[in-house]
Structure 1
Amino acid sequence: MENEKLIIQALVYSIIFLVLITTGLILFFHYSRRKILQKELEKVDLKLENQQKILQTSIAIQETERKRISQDLHDAISSKLNIVSLSTNMLLDDSSITDKQRASLNQILEITSTTLESSRKIAHDLMPPILDKFGLKVALEELFENVSTHTTIDIEHNIDELTRLSETNHLHVFRIVQELINNSIRHGKANELAIFIEDNQKGFIIHFQDNGIGFNVKNICKKNGIGLQNINSRVKILNGTLKIESTKNKGSLFKIQCKYHEQN
């Protein structure tokens, strides 16, 4: 009997020992896996952070290039076209020129004036000077007025002043709205737009809606064209999210919600 008790005790202790070992191994693998997952998450966060930095650098380079081209158009091309225009007007004042020469000079003047106007418009679209001088609200209102003047588009809008946003981020908001308008006109075939920007304590909301032909949201997101890529990139820089709703022949809705960064 004594031997049996000893054997049972030995078995019990062995089982307890095995349970402890097994539990220890389970805990070891559990915490090891947690550490591995934590490291992987840190790698993902670092990768996303690097992607964000690359994205911001890419956008900054793009804007610098836009500014340079705009300045070149203004300084180099527009100034020279103005000289051509002045010289042509001086020649037209010469009473000794023939009717044929006068007609040719008038044609040169017309072409020069048209090219000069196009050059100014391109320069303005690349880098609107009103944005630096008067801010986002005025710049967007001028954009809406220009679109309505040169197209049949009717734009309903209400824009809050985003005073807590930096000048650089004002430019991102301007570019997002500009790209959305271009897409609605070019691809959506819309003739009515509703654009609202609402400011609040935590951030701001951009609400953009058109009455265009609509599209399949899943397909457009898979294709991820250049226009949508630019919008997404700027939304990420603004610490925001983009939600798209669209139905065939019933228009599209873009809702962008952005949270203010601490430094803003």
Structure 2
Amino acid sequence: MDKSVDQEIVRLLFGGTVVMLLLAAALVAFFLLYQRKLVSQQLALQTIRGAYQREVFAAAIEAEERERQRIGNDLHDEIGSSLSAAKMLMAQLEDSVSTTAKEQEVVVLVQSIIGNSLQDIRNISQNLHPAVLARFGLSQALHNLGRVCTEAFPHGVEVQVELAAPLPYAHELALYRIVQELINNALKHARASRVVVQLAPQPAGLVLTVADDGCGFDLAHVQASNAGGLGLKSLAARVSLLDAALHLETAAGQGTRVRVTVPHPS
């Protein structure tokens, strides 16, 4: 009798242990499934946030480009036309026989000022809205940008472009603005004497490289302090819109080299 009771107890204990193990396994499985679902939801949320941020960046950049175009056109069409008319009137005064020698000197001086102002307006208008890009494409626009900026650097701006075929205009505009921003940074912040711009296809994709021999900066400190400024943030935003990869090499006193890799279309 005692033996059968002991066996029954053993069976109950064994059955209870099995049930507990099954419950524990079910809890572990539930926990793992819950964690997987949670991670999946977080990834989906990050994707939505990333897509939303991209939409915000794209809308902001599109609005900025529209405003640049409007201001550039206003400068070129209205102020530029007014200055051109003033220059023609001054030319008539210069040809007038009734003006004195002193007045002639003033006329020549004013003509020079108007001429310089017209050139400045053309340069500003070109920076705001690159008509060369819309008409002749990225290669010509980058070479033109290099020619315009080369006088600002003691050893100039060198531009090398290899493009087998035109890119979508939005891509060309983004790459142009990236180069424009980097040249501006090299001039204003890096105090560089030379800038080299290269754009060429490689196995990884279309690679844009902009290198200068300026003062450089402590990249780790800038990243840690989130002190990149609007220039680097704008650069990162344009790179993200291209689905491109950004790689930056710099150090204090060693210049800066920025590489943007745009993947080949799938």
Which band: TM-score by shorter chain? over 0.9
SS in 2 for 1:109: helix
Aligned to 2:230: 226
1:164 deviation in Å? 5.7
Q: CA RMSD in A?
A: 1.7
Matched, 1:50 2:52: yes
Deviation per CA, 1:178-237, whole angstroms, max 9, x where unpaired?
111111122112112232212146521112222111110123332021111111111111
Where does the alignment leave 5 or more consecutive residues of structure 1 unmatched?
Answer: none
Aligned pairs, how many? 262
What pairs with 1:1-264 in structure 2 (closer than 5 Å)? 1-161=3-163, 163=165, 165-200=167-202, 203-221=205-223, 222-262=226-266
Deviation per CA, 1:135-194, whole angstroms, max 9, x where unpaired?
111111121222224542333442111626211110111111111111112211211223
Contact 2:157 2:196 in 1 (8 A): yes
TM-score by length of 2: 0.92
Cα 1:77–1:192 shift into 2, 3 Å: same
SS in 2 for 1:223: coil
Contact 2:137 2:166 in 1 (8 A): no
Contact 2:132 2:141 in 1 (8 A): yes
Cα 1:91–1:140 shift into 2, 3 Å: same
Letter in 1 for 2:122: R
**Rounded Cα–Cα distance in structure 2 between residues aligned with 1:99 and 1:145:** 38
SS in 2 for 1:97: coil
TM-score by length of 1: 0.93
Where does the alignment leave 5 or more consecutive residues of structure 2 unmatched?
Answer: none
Cα 1:52–1:261 shift into 2, 3 Å: farther
Cα 1:32–1:64 shift into 2, 3 Å: same
Identity level (%) = 26
Letter in 2 for 1:92: E
